Amino acid sequence: MVWKLILAVLVGLAIGAALGGLAWRWMARRQERARQTARYRELVDSLDVLSRALLQGQVDSSEASIRMAVLLDCLPPDVAPKVDLAAIHQLAEDCGGFDRGEERRRLTPAERNRQDLARLQLEDDQNPAVLAAAGRLQGVIGEWRTRLSA
């Protein structure tokens, strides 16, 4: 009789531990999804601000493209609707060879000027396509927000 009682208690503890473990894993997954959703929402908000600033002429297209390309690469691959943003990635890639930050400060004024002129030429050449891509991005931002928050 005592053994049956001990066995019943042990079985009850095992079931309780298993259910507790399942509940803990479920809550951990739910929290991770909430963190990921918040991260995606921040990415889309940043893309919205950058693309609007670019369209309004408040930021250089090279600077905006570099920043937007990084943000776009952080979005999930299944983001929908798909939109052609290749011009943004292309300008960001083309500007990747220019010195930035501390390396730029170490350049001579002549070399810095040469890079600035080359960057401005790239911007002039690619600006219509980049602005068109930023416009397309603005067209889907709202839908991305909705889908990534769901």
31-40, 74-83, 88-97 — which one is most confidently predicted on average?
Answer: 88-97
d(CA 82, CA 77): 10
Mean pLDDT value of segment 88-111: 90
Give, as one character, the DSSP assignment of residue 132: H
Question: Following DSSP, what letter does each residue of 67-121 receive, concatenated?
Answer: HHHHHHHHS-TT-SS----HHHHHHHHHGGGS--THHHHHS-HHHHHHHHHHHHH
- Which residue from 45, 50, 46 is spatially nearest to 60, judged by alpha carbons? 50
Q: What's the pLDDT score for residue 139?
A: 92
d(CA 36, CA 42): 10
- Which residue from 90, 77, 73 is spatially nearest to 132, judged by alpha carbons? 90
In the chain, where the domains are located: 2-149
First vs last C-alpha separation in the chain: 54
Residue 20: pLDDT over 90: no
Q: What's the pLDDT score for residue 91?
A: 95
Question: Which band of pLDDT confidence, cut at 50, 70 and 90, is reported for residue 34?
Answer: confident
Mean pLDDT value of segment 111-116: 92
Mean pLDDT value of segment 14-22: 80
Mean pLDDT computed over every residue of the chain? 88
Q: What's the pLDDT score for residue 32?
A: 79
Angle between helices 109-149 and 86-94 (to 10 degrees): 150
Residue 9: pLDDT over 80: no
Taken in order 51, 57, 59, 65, is the CA torsion positive or negative? positive
Question: Which band of pLDDT confidence, cut at 50, 70 and 90, is reported for residue 150?
Answer: low
Taken in order 113, 116, 121, 122, is the CA torsion positive or negative? positive
Residue type, 99: D
Q: How many CA atoms lie within 13 Å of 18's alpha carbon, on the beta-carbon side?
A: 6
pLDDT by residue (tens digit) across 45-90?
999 999 999 999 999 999 999 999 999 998 888 887 888 999 999 9
pTM: 0.76
Residue 148: pLDDT over 80: no
